A and B are shown apart, each in its own frame.
Chain A
Amino acid sequence: MSDVIIQASNLSRRFGNFVAVDNITFEVRSGEIFGFLGANGAGKTTAMRILCGLLAPSSGSATVCGYDVATQSEQVKLNIGYMSQRFSLFDDLSVWDNISFYAGIYKMSRAQIKDAGNTMLDKLELSKYKNRLVGSLPLGWKQKLAFAIAIIHKPQLVFLDEPTGGVDPITRRAFWDMLYAAASEGITIFVTTHYLDEAEYCDRISIMVNGKIGALGTPLELKEQFKVLSIYDVILALARGEEA
């Protein structure tokens, strides 16, 4: 039985009268690629922010990498990686500046940064662009770089918030190859996406509907559960309020 790296129990979050996250319980196992789906406004983003230690829950609890998100949020942040939509790199800083900044924040020493940074650049074939401003790089490269930087400090778990928005199909696949490589090295991947075919790339997925978890399981399990052929149809079924 692999370790549980994220454990959410009866997690809720309210904003005034509005219940954004409604009593959700689920777990993510170490080394898996976990897809977190749901429409905008379904509570996805709020739930993710709680798990990243950025937002306190209103009730219930969650532990990430063994740390409680409410009381030990600083440790949570140190042990995870994060890559957001539109890649969270500084366009007006160079590639190396971005690397040393983020690696430094995660408490890597100068020597470690030098070593890991150069290795990373070699692997991505971006060594020539070490001092180039990130803003001048094509979208696909920025995306690769952003992910590599997100895991440079070798976290156990990395959160990816819609990381493949807008790029062409080849670049998207190349990105998922990177994700697979990271997963095979033991990093747990927690990813949200609107591309439903990407849901199929995940080991297990959950679909949030109106603050609750509407479906949870492997893509295959869900398709069997709802007796449909694609994840898209699962979402349609959930939207129509059908039960499994």
Chain B
Amino acid sequence: MKNLSIFVRKEFLHIVRDPKSLMIMVLLPLVEIMLIGFVLRFEIASTNLAVVDMAKQQQSTKLIHRLEGGDRFKVRLTQSMPEAEELLTEGKVKAILYISEDFDRKAVENSESSLQLLLDATDPNIATTIEAYVKATLADFWVDSIGGSPVPMLITEQMFYYNPLLKSVYATVPGLISVVLMLICALMTSISLTREKESGTLKVLLISPLKPLQIIIGKLAPYLLVSLLITGIILALSFGVFGVPMAGSLIMLIMVSFVYCLCALALGFLISTKAKTQQVAMMMSLAGLMLPTTLLSGMIYPIKNMPLWLQGITYIMPARWFVSILKHIMLKASPFSAYAGELAVLLLMTGIFTLLSLKNFTTRFR
């Protein structure tokens, strides 16, 4: 027993003396708990809601005010359905409420309503939540303003766009692709490069006529090929087995995936220039890339609900942009303009990471 306590004491000393393990064991879990407990939520606030008000009368206006009050919705008044649908496609609103011309008359005279609700169901959980919020707010409005019981069916037409059957796999496939590609392109390459460093063979490579760029490309190219292959397999499975649609252009999808892979490769390379051993590279990749990608890419927790400072952080996550673009292409068939900006951000990030890693890849040490 005494031996055990001696040994345990020594292990504590090791832990305390090593700042890296302290960080991983203490800081990381704390940060995670804080994130998950306070920040990453499934509740939704301030949903962008487009309202097409064809009635423009007293009751309809009251309804709109009711929707605007409180923090559940941010109402955008649009003049026509096509305009609203464009906003939906571009992702600027998550739902459309269509108030028909005869809303006031029907409500007051016949105690009836014929509202239409269209929801962006690329994230089915979010869509059903928004549906519930809208219906609740409408019911409250009806009870207060129109009166009479029972409350009739207020929404007579409802559609879930892009994912009519509310299949959760539609939402998860883009996120899955982003995580898998990050894993292969960043984690694996960072380990492979540091392995070369550790075994000393990097020294011999540097001494050879191989230009540093050739070494880098030579190391990264196989992973690029593998990841594109894996993406193809995942997509094939999603189409074939899960019925995930490919609403948009396959070519665009491949090109965007290619850009994302390059970005992840650059990140993996950057990590390898900083890490001295494979173990450190793995830790840095897991803690610095994989974990944030899984939590903050919008794959599980909606970004919109995160506090602004955390949303700001998601801006520097390549996965966030990639997942969004994928949803546009795969589920919404959005026009290029809808995600051109996001693609530009991804390209910019790739460029920056590449430059940084090249700068850090010293071939002559001081």
| A/B touching: CB–CB < 8 A | yes
A: which residues have CB within 8 A of B? 90, 92-93, 97, 100-101, 104-105, 107
User: In the complex, what residues of A have CB within 8 A of residue B43's CB?
Assistant: none
Which residue of the partner chain, among B2, B3, B7, B14, contacts A93 with CB atoms under 8 Å? B14
- B interface, by DSSP: helix, strand, loop or mixed? helix
Count the A-B residue pairs with Cβ separation under 8 angstroms: how many?
Answer: 25
B residues with CB within 8 A of A: 2-3, 6-7, 9-10, 13-14, 17-18
Q: Is the CB–CB distance between B17 and A101 below 8 Å?
A: no
CA A92 to CA B16, docked complex, whole Å: 10
**Is B10's CB under 8 angstroms from A97's CB?**
yes
- In whole angstroms, what is the CA distance A93 to B7 when docked? 13
| Interface pairs A-B: 9 shortest CB-CB | A104-B6, A92-B17, A101-B10, A105-B3, A93-B13, A105-B6, A97-B13, A101-B6, A92-B14
Interchain nearest-CB distance for B25 vs A (Å): 16
Least CB distance from A111 to B in Å reads: 14
Cβ–Cβ < 8 Å partners of A107 in chain B: 2-3
Closest A residue to B3 by CB, please name it: A105
Query: Which single residue of chain B is at the shortest CB-CB distance from A97?
Result: B13
> Once the chains are docked, how many angstroms separate the CA of A90 from the CA of B10?
10
A206 to B344 Cα, complex, angstroms = 72
Q: How far is the CA of A136 from the CA of B7 in the complex (A)?
A: 23
Q: Which residue in chain A gives the minimum CB-CB distance to B9?
A: A101
* A/B interface sample: 23 pairs, CB < 8 A: A90-B10, A90-B14, A92-B13, A92-B14, A92-B17, A92-B18, A93-B10, A93-B13, A93-B14, A93-B17, A97-B10, A97-B13, A100-B6, A101-B6, A101-B10, A104-B2, A104-B3, A104-B6, A105-B3, A105-B6, A105-B7, A107-B2, A107-B3
What B residues does A101 contact at CB under 8 A? Answer: 6-7, 9-10
**A90-B10, A90-B14, A93-B10 given; 16 more Cβ-contact pairs under 8 Å:** A92-B13, A92-B14, A92-B17, A92-B18, A93-B13, A93-B14, A97-B10, A101-B6, A101-B7, A101-B10, A104-B2, A104-B3, A104-B6, A105-B6, A107-B2, A107-B3
CB distance from A73 to the nearest CB of B (A): 15
Residue of B nearest to A103 (CB): B6
- A92 cross-chain contacts in B, Cβ below 8 A: 13-14, 17-18
Report how far A100 CA is from B13 CA in the complex, Å.
Answer: 13
- Residues from chain A with a CB closer than 8 A to the CB of B14 are 90, 92-93
Instruction: Give the residues in chain B near A90, CB-CB below 8 Å.
Output: 10, 14
Min CB–CB distance B9 → chain A (angstroms): 8
Chain B residue nearest to A106 in the complex (CB): B3
Q: Roughly how many angstroms separate A101 CA and B6 CA in the complex, as a whole number? A: 6
Distance (Å) between the CB of A152 and the closest chain B CB? Answer: 14
CA distance A227 to B18 in the complex (A): 56
A97–B10 Cα distance when bound, in Å, is 8
Give the docked Cα–Cα distance between A97 and B2 (Å): 16
Which of chain A's residues have a CB closer than 8 A to the CB of B10?
A: 90, 93, 97, 101
Q: State how many angstroms separate the Cβ of B313 from the closest Cβ of chain A.
A: 33
| Residues in A neighbouring B2, C-beta threshold 8 A | 104, 107
Nearest CB of chain A from residue B270's CB, rounded to whole Å = 28
Q: Please name the residue on chain B nearest to A101 by beta carbon.
A: B10
**Cα A101 to Cα B8 with chains together (Å):** 10
Q: How far is the CA of A101 from the CA of B13 in the complex (A)?
A: 11
The smallest beta-carbon distance between B199 and chain A, in angstroms, is 18
Task: Determine how close the nearest CB of chain A comes to the CB of B276; give it in whole angstroms.
Answer: 16
List, in ascending order, chain B residues with CB within 8 A of A100's CB.
6
Docked pose: A107 CA to B17 CA in angstroms:
25
Q: Nearest Cβ distance between residue B296 and chain A, in whole angstroms? A: 34
Assembly CA distance A132 to B54 (angstroms): 82
A126 to B43, CA, bound (A): 64
Shortest CB-to-CB span from A91 to chain B, Å, is: 9
Most chain A CB atoms below 10 A, which of B3, B6, B7: B6
What chain B residues lie within 8 Å of A97 (beta carbons)? Answer: 10, 13
In the assembled complex, which residues on chain A have CB atoms less than 8 Å from the CB atom of B13?
A: 92-93, 97
Question: Bound state CA distance, A107 and B18, in angstroms?
Answer: 28
**How many Å lie between the Cα of A105 and that of B14 in the bound state?**
17
Residues of chain A with a CB closer than 8 A to B6's CB: 100-101, 104-105
Residue of B whose beta carbon sits closest to that of A135: B17
Most buried by A among B3, B9, B17, B18: B17
State in angstroms the CA–CA spacing of A105 and B2 once bound together: 8
A residues less than 8 Å from B7 (CB atoms): 101, 105
Cα A93 to Cα B16 with chains together (Å): 10
Chain A, residue nearest B17 (CB): A92
Residue of A nearest to B14 (CB): A92
CB-CB under 8 A from A105, the residues of chain B are 3, 6-7
Please give the distance in Å from B13's CB to the nearest CB on chain A.
6
Please measure, in the bound complex, the distance between the C-alpha atom of A203 and the C-alpha atom of B95, giving whole angstroms.
Answer: 91
- Interchain CA distance A92-B15 in the complex, whole Å: 10
B17 proximity list for chain A (CB < 8 A): 92-93
* Minimum Cβ distance to chain A for residue B12 (Å): 11
Smallest CB–CB gap between B191 and chain A, Å? 25
